[in-house]
Chain A
């Protein structure tokens, strides 16, 4: 059953097959938490969002119709829950965890790299919701612009416009921070 497609699993879940649901949750929980964490900026919210989204998969499975790929539909649910939650609570940028320190690495270079990562993380956190969502879906999830458009329920050209605006904004923020020596 491990090789079953998402859509096959959904058909089984619709018939009340709990092991199929457990398999689908194991397949998606990690990626979904990562996605939600990067949108909400909050670990606790991300976990709650994913738990709620997965429960929706179970409860709504009998009414689910494969009009789109399961992943597209599921990420759309996760994203909508994240954005709905963000409207109620302010965004807290994630701390850039970075890689474990390498004792042989040059300390100054590592500090500069951490600083740059902190700057870009802050700049991404400051983006408007949909621009950040487009960035996360394309760069973290590695989705194409067409897949991102399906999840954001918009056109490919709108996604491209979101990405162009987001990157201009990131570039401007990084330049500002460099000039200000922050």
Chain B
């Protein structure tokens, strides 16, 4: 294992070599034993890991969790049960549609308007065409003359 790869692995797997995949751990330990620069990289990575862990562990959330549980103490809403529940992949359950509700409502509204206009809207058939074809029935005959084959 080269030093650059070792540094990348330190960032990807953390500075605790015992948690690394076996093959990579053996190669990393060999590098650390032979290369002073690798030992420095390991030390720096351990320091960064400690800093991150300490920063994230700051502050207690007991009170906040208590408030959440208190709010959930109210009567719970009805559960969603569907005859087609077996057909719902679990992955769909965590889809959050809340941000798109306005757009979904707009789309449904436009679709409903289309249906209403289609059923009850004005008739757009061109009346003049209908009248012309009805009053001049000859125009619609294109049979050729029996002997000459000339069209009228």
Q: Which residues of A contact B (CB under 8 A)?
A: 14, 16, 18, 21-22, 25-26, 29-30, 33-34, 37-38, 43, 46-47, 50-51, 54-56, 58-68, 73, 76-77, 80-81, 84, 87-88, 94, 96-98, 116-117, 120-121, 124, 135-136, 138-140, 145, 160-161, 163-164, 167-168, 170-171
11 contacts between A and B (CB under 8 A): A22-B72, A25-B72, A30-B62, A33-B65, A47-B68, A51-B68, A94-B59, A139-B53, A139-B56, A164-B12, A168-B11
- CB-based closest 3 A-B pairs: A160-B12, A97-B59, A30-B65
A179, B8: Cα distance in complex, Å: 24
A46, B79: Cα distance in complex, Å: 24
Kindly state whether residue B67 has any CB partner on chain A within 8 Å.
yes
Chain A, residue nearest B75 (CB) = A18
Q: Which residues of A contact B98 (CB under 8 A)?
A: 84
Q: Which residues of A contact B67 (CB under 8 A)?
A: 47
A43-B64, A58-B77, A88-B99 are known contacts. Are A117 and B55 too (CB-CB below 8 A)?
A: yes
Q: Which residues of A contact B52 (CB under 8 A)?
A: 120, 124, 135, 139, 170
A21-B76, A37-B64, A97-B59 are known contacts. Are A64 and B14 too (CB-CB below 8 A)?
A: no
Cross-chain contact A59 with B77 (CB below 8 angstroms): yes
Q: A67-B90, A160-B12 are in contact. List 10 more A-B contacts (CB 8 A).
A: A29-B65, A30-B65, A55-B77, A67-B89, A77-B93, A97-B58, A98-B58, A145-B13, A161-B12, A163-B11
Cross-chain contact A64 with B93 (CB below 8 angstroms): yes
Cross-chain contact A55 with B51 (CB below 8 angstroms): no
Among B71-111, those with CB < 8 Å from A are: 71-72, 76-82, 85, 88-91, 93-94, 96, 98-99
Kindly state whether residue B1 has any CB partner on chain A within 8 Å.
no
Q: Which residues of B contact A (CB under 8 A)?
A: 8, 11-14, 48-49, 51-62, 64-65, 67-69, 71-72, 76-82, 85, 88-91, 93-94, 96, 98-99
CB distance from A80 to the nearest CB of B (A): 6
Cross-chain contact B64 with A124 (CB below 8 angstroms): no
Cross-chain contact B94 with A164 (CB below 8 angstroms): no
CB distance from A36 to the nearest CB of B (A): 9
Cross-chain contact A46 with B13 (CB below 8 angstroms): no
CB distance from A97 to the nearest CB of B (A): 4
A43, B59: Cα distance in complex, Å: 11
Give the residue of A34, A55, A73 whose beta carbon is less than 8 angstroms from that of B90.
A73
A120-B55, A139-B53 are known contacts. Are A80 and B12 too (CB-CB below 8 A)?
A: no
Give the residue of A29, A60, A170 whose beta carbon is less than 8 angstroms from that of B48.
A170
Cross-chain contact B81 with A62 (CB below 8 angstroms): yes
